[in-house]
Structure 1
Amino acid sequence: MFPIAPRAVNGAGMAWRFAHSHCPAPRVNLAPENLMNTCNMVSMTASSPRDPLATRLERAFNDHGYEQLSMVGLAKLCGFTRRALYHHFSSKEEAFRFALRWRGELNIVAGMAAGRRLIEEGKGAVDIITEMMDVRYGETRRQLGLSPHALELNDQAFRRARDIMVEAAVDYQAKLAGLLTEMEELGLLRFKPGTTPESLAQSLCDGARGTNQSLPPIPPDQLKTRYHKIITAILFGSAEPGKHRAQP
């Protein structure tokens, strides 16, 4: 249920699928000022007793959008009493922000795992990075496209959780830079003079997020092909300097 891609800053688009945490306390205090620290303790595991709640929340926001839902309505759609939902979240916005952060972190883990899997399979650099971007960003776009409230949910994410999106982008780019360094050590690519793993990771993520914002919009089933093209262009270039300068 989350943004197709961030605008202006390096925010990360995040697919709408609410997920869980293994926070030990019976009640998780998810006030905005505590949210970041709380979610840093989230266990990145897909087998939590709260997974059924995650699925119901995802469906509720996708089917009904953000503005039209109250905590009472959200609780009913999730099969909870209002009091039971408030046991976990003190407001709809807190649930929304928590969902964004958790899904962003989970998508980062999935994207990195996809890259390492293809390295083990002996794939080339373009295929490895394309798969990572498709898992990290393409799935986001495809899931968001299924919601009749996609534009509203995208807007709400930018309005209410831009800080989370930026943090996720920085985190993913740092992890990608580390993997690019490993890929160079494995002989899968070689950095050109003046290029660092960090700058290349930034360019690759910018390219993927820009692809999600393309006009006219790219059909969801063609996203991976477009990622492949933009990644190829970024890694190997599409043109060389000409021998002559244009006349003034």
Structure 2
Amino acid sequence: MARAATKISVVDQTGPSERILQILTESARLFATNGYDGTSMRDIAAACGISKSLLYHHFADKDEIFARIALGSTRELCEFVTARIPEDAAPAARIRAFMIGTAEYFHRYRWAWLASTSSFWSDPEARRQKERMMWRDRYEGLLRTLLMEAIEAGEMRPVDVSHAGRLILSSLNWMHRWYKPEKGLTAVQIAETYFDMIFNGLKAEPPAP
């Protein structure tokens, strides 16, 4: 994957500079690989090829960097997926777009996904945790809405929407445990496979008489 494709476009209303993007991208990789406690400002500066003083010019401390990655990733996942759902498509196609959009985000920003996932329930900052939960709820609520629309349109049989949503989200959210970009299917292809399995089932058609 090209280096540019992995940069984290975290939330920043003024538009993050190339240096900020580099710091956040390298920090996400280090946090995901070594954990928060196992990553120092010296490590981040070395990974970016810059001095610690320049790093401190952009960020007050390691916690500020981590907050930008964790909160930015949760918010941008929701916005990234929402933007890829066609408004005029059938409900089932919109669910497929939700799943593929999630996989595409995971593929593009894998290190940020991993760093954010590993820290989701351990963030000591209550306000930050509350905001992340709000964006997570919006993201999951979008899927439940799409599922209800599919049921109402007769594209799905009546099922428990909460359970169906957890099934879909679990299939996508656990990819980071075993997915290897250099082997097998891409993340988007895996999401398409999951969609087919979920909507068309695993049971084989009975043989023709």
> What range describes the TM-score normalised by the shorter chain of this pair?
0.5 to 0.7
The CA deviation string for residues 115-165 of structure 1, in whole angstroms up to 9 with x for no partner, is 2x1x42x3561x433332232233323443xxxxx5xx94x545544355x
1:203 aligns with 2:164: no
Q: 1:189 Cα deviation (Å)?
A: 1.9
CA contact (8 A) 1:177 1:197 kept: yes
Mapping of residues 234-245 of structure 1, within 5 Å: 234-239=198-203
1:176 aligns with 2:143: yes
Instruction: Give structure 1 regions of 4+ aligned residues with deviation exceeding 6 angstroms.
Output: 215-218
| Greater relative contact order, per chain length (Cα 8 Å cut-off, separation 6+) | 1
Matches of 2:189 and 2:118 in 1, distance apart?
31
RMSD between superposed Cα atoms in Å: 4.0
Matches of 2:15 and 2:119 in 1, distance apart?
24
Alignment match, 2:8: 17
Matches of 2:70 and 2:58 in 1, distance apart?
21
Mapping of residues 1-248 of structure 1, within 5 Å: 17-21=8-12, 48-52=13-17, 54-61=20-27, 65-66=30-31, 67-70=39-42, 73=45, 76=50, 80=54, 82-86=56-60, 91-115=61-85, 117=86, 119-120=87-88, 122=89, 125=92, 127-144=93-110, 154=114, 157-163=116-122, 167=133, 169-185=136-152, 187=153, 189-192=155-158, 195-214=159-178, 219=183, 222-239=186-203
Do the aligned partners of residues 18 and 158 (structure 1) sit closer, same or farther apart at CA in structure 2, a change above 3 Å counting?
Answer: same
TM-score by length of 2: 0.64
Alignment match, 2:35: none
Matches of 1:124 and 1:221 in 2, distance apart?
26
Q: 1:216 Cα deviation (Å)?
A: 7.2
Matches of 2:21 and 2:147 in 1, distance apart?
34
Structure 2, gaps ≥5 residues long: 1-5, 32-38, 123-128, 205-209
The CA deviation string for residues 29-66 of structure 1, in whole angstroms up to 9 with x for no partner, is xxxxxxxxxxxxxxxxxxx324216423334326x724
Q: Does the residue aligned with 1:51 lie in a helix, a strand or coil?
A: coil
The CA deviation string for residues 139-198 of structure 1, in whole angstroms up to 9 with x for no partner, is 323443xxxxx5xx94x545544355x83554422221022223444x262333xx1222
TM-score by length of 1: 0.56
CA contact (8 A) 1:17 1:54 kept: no
- Say which structure is richer in helix: 2
CA contact (8 A) 2:96 2:192 kept: yes
Matches of 1:78 and 1:189 in 2, distance apart?
56
Do the aligned partners of residues 105 and 202 (structure 1) sit closer, same or farther apart at CA in structure 2, a change above 3 Å counting?
Answer: same
Amino acid at match of 2:81: G
CA contact (8 A) 1:75 1:81 kept: no
- How many residues align? The count is 181
CA contact (8 A) 1:141 1:212 kept: no
Alignment match, 2:3: none
Matches of 1:100 and 1:220 in 2, distance apart?
28
Q: Does the residue aligned with 1:108 lie in a helix, a strand or coil?
A: helix
